[in-house]
Amino acid sequence: MSLTWSDWFSHDSASTRFATHEALFEGLKKEDNAAILYTQIKVLPSVKKLTKDYGLPLEQVDDILNQSTLILLRKIGDGSYQFQNYAPTTYLIEIARRVALMATRALKKTTKPLDNIPETSDPDFEALLRHSEAAETVNLLLGKMGDPCEQVIRFHHIDGLSDEEVVQQQLTKYLSPDSLKNKRSDCMKKLVLIAQQWKTSTNI
């Protein structure tokens, strides 16, 4: 699968820093890149299962995960989601479920009866579809970043290339996996800011 962040966390203290639900929530509230990636790693298996259960192409896992994460950060930022002793990962999975449902409707994928799928009237998801499908939104945000940020994020999170592969094939100017990881970390923070600006400009 294209999201291969385990190696990055094997050298990081994220599992210790975010050992409690509250610590993870505070990290997300501060838009700590390590907290964001740690949260995505935790929910990735569930998002994969949701994608399969909803009859969506496996290639949409990244789109659903990224779009759901942006919605989570927005909700934390505007105060509509506050810490109540529950795991932020649980809430992110629920967001992903709704995003997957909307993607299913948009793509007219009906591999399982919609009667068995929870309904949602959350305006975030209705607004999301009014502007574009999740994949188009992610591509739009990445396109606003320009290179090298668009490159390093796409190679790792969409194309599924390891940092070692990117360096060996000389696909970027970065000469070591560590320097590539550091740049991608900075780019993820930039992506969050662009997403917030996009949300404001589109009045979502």
Percentages helix, strand, coil for the chain, rounded to the nearest 5?
Answer: 70, 0, 30
Of 202, 204, 189, nearest to 75 (Cα)?
Answer: 204
Q: What percent of the chain has pLDDT over 70?
A: 71
Whether 57 has a pLDDT exceeding 80, the answer reads yes
The pLDDT value given to residue 10:
41
Q: What is the pLDDT of residues 107-140, one digit of tens each?
A: 653 434 444 444 444 444 444 444 444 556 666 7
In this prediction, residue 99 has a pLDDT band, given cuts at 50, 70 and 90, of confident
Q: What is the pLDDT of residues 149-195, one digit of tens each?
A: 888 887 776 667 788 888 887 888 888 989 988 888 888 888 877 77
Q: What is the pLDDT of residues 8-22, one digit of tens each?
A: 444 356 778 888 999
The pLDDT value given to residue 132:
40
Which two structure tokens, joined as six digits, stand for 105?
């409707």
Average predicted confidence (pLDDT) for the chain: 75
CA dihedral 158→134→64→195, nearest 10 degrees, is 80
The pLDDT value given to residue 121:
40
Q: Which residues are CB-contacts of 150 (< 8 A; sequence separation ≥ 6)? A: 142, 143
Peptide bond into 123 cis (omega under 30): no
In this prediction, residue 69 has a pLDDT band, given cuts at 50, 70 and 90, of very high
Whether 4 has a pLDDT exceeding 70, the answer reads no
Of 157, 203, 152, nearest to 182 (Cα)?
Answer: 152
The pLDDT value given to residue 107:
63
